[in-house]
Chains A and B, each alone.
Chain A
Amino acid sequence: MTVSNTAEFLADPVLSLLDVCQSYGSTKVIENLTFSIRKHEFLAIVGPSGCGKSTLLRLMAGHELPLSGRVYRTGKVLTITQHGGLLPWLTAGENVELALRKIPSRRERDAAKAQMLELVGMAGSANTYPHELSGGMRQRIELARALAGSSEVLLMDEPFSALDYLTRLQMRNELVRILSEQPRTIVFVTHDVEEAAQLADRVIVLSARPATLKLELIPGDDVRPRPLTGENVTGSVKKLLRALGMEDRS
Chain B
Amino acid sequence: MVVMKQIDAGNPLGGNRPAAYRAGGSSPIIPLRIWSLVAPPILTLLFVALWQVLFNTNVLSHTMFPSPLQVVHGFKQELATHRLPEDIVASLWRVAVGFALSIVLGLPAGIALGSSAYVRGAFLPGFNFLRNLSPLAWIGFAIVWFGVGDAPAIFLIFMSIFFPIALSVSADVAAIPVVYQRVADEYGLSKFERLYKVTLPAIMPRFVTTLRVAMGVAWLVVVAAEMVAGHNGLGFAIYDDRNALRQDLLVVHMIVIGVIGVLLDRYLASFAKNPTLQWGFQRQNL
Contacts and interface: CB of A to CB of B under 8 A. Distances in A.
Given A87-B201, A89-B201, A131 B182 contact: no
A85 B177 CA distance: 10
A4 B169 CA distance: 53
A149 B286 contact: no
B282 A131 contact: yes
A84 B286 contact: yes
Contacts of B277: 89
A159 interface: no
A131 B276 contact: no
A131 B186 contact: no
Contacts of B197: 87, 98
Given A129-B278, A130-B286, A89 B182 contact: no
A63 B285 CA distance: 23
A108 B165 CA distance: 42
Nearest to A99: B187
A79 B286 contact: no
Given A63-B185, A89-B201, A98-B187, A83 B282 contact: no
B199 to A, nearest CB: 11
A90 B180 CA distance: 12
Contacts of A129: 275, 278-279
A79 B182 contact: yes
B23 interface: no
Interface in A39-71: 61, 63
Contacts of B280: 88
B284 A131 contact: yes
Contact of A87 (B185, B186, B198, B282): B198
B183 A130 contact: no
Among A86, A88, A149, the one with the most B-chain Cβ atoms within 10 Å of its Cβ is A88
Interface residues of A, number: 22
A131 B278 contact: yes
B221 interface: no
A85 B183 contact: yes
B204 interface: yes
A131 B179 contact: no
B185 A131 contact: no
Given A98-B197, A129-B278, A149-B187, A87 B284 contact: no
B189 to A, nearest CB: 8
B202 A89 contact: yes
A contacts with B: majority SS: loop
Interface in A66-122: 77-79, 81, 83-90, 98-99
B179 A85 contact: yes
Contacts of B201: 87, 89-90
Interface in B48-104: none
A211 to B, nearest CB: 21
A12 to B, nearest CB: 24
Contacts of B278: 129, 131
B187 A88 contact: no
A64 B167 CA distance: 29
A89 B279 contact: yes
A176 to B, nearest CB: 24
Given A129-B278, A129-B279, A149-B187, A89 B286 contact: no
A143 to B, nearest CB: 14
Nearest to B275: A129
A129 B274 CA distance: 12
Nearest to B198: A87
Contacts of B202: 89
B7 to A, nearest CB: 20
Nearest to A61: B186
Contacts of A138: 286
B209 to A, nearest CB: 16
Contact of B182 (A85, A88, A99, A162): A85
Contact of B183 (A77, A87, A89, A131): A87
Given A87-B197, A89-B201, A131-B286, A81 B276 contact: no
13 contacts: A61-B186, A83-B179, A85-B182, A85-B183, A86-B286, A87-B183, A87-B201, A88-B280, A89-B279, A98-B187, A129-B278, A131-B284, A162-B285
- List of 6 A-B pairs having minimum Cβ-Cβ separation, nearest first: A88-B279, A89-B201, A131-B282, A89-B276, A131-B279, A131-B284
